[in-house]
Structure 1
């Protein structure tokens, strides 16, 4: 396994898979001054990515392995990203693709994988309005997409136990520049700002914790998901909340406002 750089060494080299998506773009912009970012994706979204984007099919092991040399940490975002994804979509992108990333990381001696898991791995509790939700509860997916994220967490545990590969899973809430881009209280409650996204991923990269499952949500007054271990173990300190950004007031509902009847559609 590669070792952490000291104060005189080069920046950590961070591979961000799926760097052309919304989360990937936010991280690439906000972490570029601290790390040597290697962006991966299909179609460049910025002028910088026109020059630096690494293209690889994550379902092709040889192509994935070719991205790994010199990488300290992988922030793995690539894959099917919708809770309405089909079985075929999550099988290829989220199951086969993640296995390829983890195996290539193991073979190349990568130190750590930060895995973009999802609130949808626990979304069955949200659909049934069984709050609060804690990271140690039994996973309860609300979709095949959520099932694929549960598989990813389990596979990451195996690679940590079997091969000593650091694996930090972040159950990401709803990341959006504008928290008022949706009406549902449930989405406001699980909103994650772009800046807080960078804060929690930075914490996951740098923490001495070698394995864990953590919620990643901003400091929203109406959240129903426990951030205690994220704050204590990773050192994450959310600084944003949907009410402060939007200037709106929370409509306080005892026990939490109802989940949308069609959850997780359109989430």
Structure 2
């Protein structure tokens, strides 16, 4: 008895999610729709990308799977967004070769670059580099913030340095986001050692931004001002940090909230 289309689509999705490239190829040859949805409402490509199965992703794309289709547990992103979130560089390269765009995409309009820069503790530098080579805008925004501004808000020292080295604009807003992130973390974490370690991380982020030539002037808590003195000489009176190249006041108004965090 021949399989029904719905059964084939579900079997294809399951095989793809499980990383079985041979089964995927066989089911496609039996007539399974390449972008058909399984019982959970997700396609074979969606599940294969989510699991990082490079071989399966290749088979599906060669069979005509849409690299810009809806993806994610709630249909909120695209396959490239998923690859960026999990740091699957080889998968992302296949999707880009198949025509995936690098700009804001999916129902939530996430730029893959922002996801690559902010997912995991330190982001995914290799993914960032791949996306930039393929035309991603390093100063593109999600919810009004660039990748650098998001990384600064999370106190991600390595990614801040990486993005600055790749040409990201060191905005006064990035300084403001780092300040707001430091305040939020200080209020949320009770462990003194963790709080001090994170404060040091935010101080390093601020030092990197100011050393890169931020145009603006920002006010900071005395605790961060004290930490920064050890990274860039004398910063003036406690609570005020000023670069020689700063000439425009940029009062800190931003406040970081849990609802503004990117999906992880």
Q: Scaled by the length of structure 1, what TM-score is found? A: 0.31
Higher RCO (Cα < 8 Å, 6 or more apart): 1
Q: TM-score, structure 2 length as denominator?
A: 0.31
Larger radius of gyration: 2
